[in-house]
Amino acid sequence: MPDEVNDYEDIANRSWDDIPEPHTLPIGTWRLKAANASYAKAKSGDQNDRIMFFYRAVEPLGDVAEEALDDLGDNFDVTGEKILFQVWMEGSRDWDTVRRHLRMHEIDPSGRKVAETLKAFGGQEVFAYLGERSYTTKGGENRTENTMTNFQPADD
């Protein structure tokens, strides 16, 4: 599939067979690159606001099963996968989680506004353990997504 779509005709004439199905990355430790971060207001009264940190996969480490990587297929590019780490803002402990996460990325939030520090997020590499979580959407659709824990700065 081409990296760039030039116009509607390119999209309209593409076969669905050429568009890969979404995959979760195999569980284990990965080197990730911080992409961007944003604040999202709750969509409904039964939700909370959240801070979303987006990452791109760089490479798997030794605890990721080769068989699981092989199952993704020869043409699957792990570096194209975007992975989400989000913090639901329910109280002050959650704000502290965001603050500590920013500091791990060498962003000092002291004396700065939240929006400013979220804009500064990106570019740094970290190690994180990717797991999986399955859930059912409100519309009844079953989905699986990667989860992230055990973040560590990637010292090059």
Give the whole-number percent of the chain exceeding pLDDT 70: 95
Q: Is pLDDT above 80 for 92?
A: yes
Q: Which residue has the higher pLDDT, 6 or 61?
A: 61
pTM here?
0.83
pLDDT one-digit tens code per residue, 107-142: 999 999 999 999 999 999 999 999 999 999 889 999
Please, which pLDDT band fits residue 1 given cuts at 50, 70 and 90? very low
Domain ranges in the chain are 24-153
Residue 150 gets the label, from left (phi > 0), alpha (psi -120 to 50) or beta, of left
Q: What are phi and psi of 76, to 5 degrees?
A: -80, 125
Torsion over CA: 81, 72, 21, 148 (sign): negative
> Which class in CATH covers the domain with range 24-153?
mainly beta
Whether the Cβ atoms of residue 28 and residue 129 lie closer than 8 Å to each other:
yes
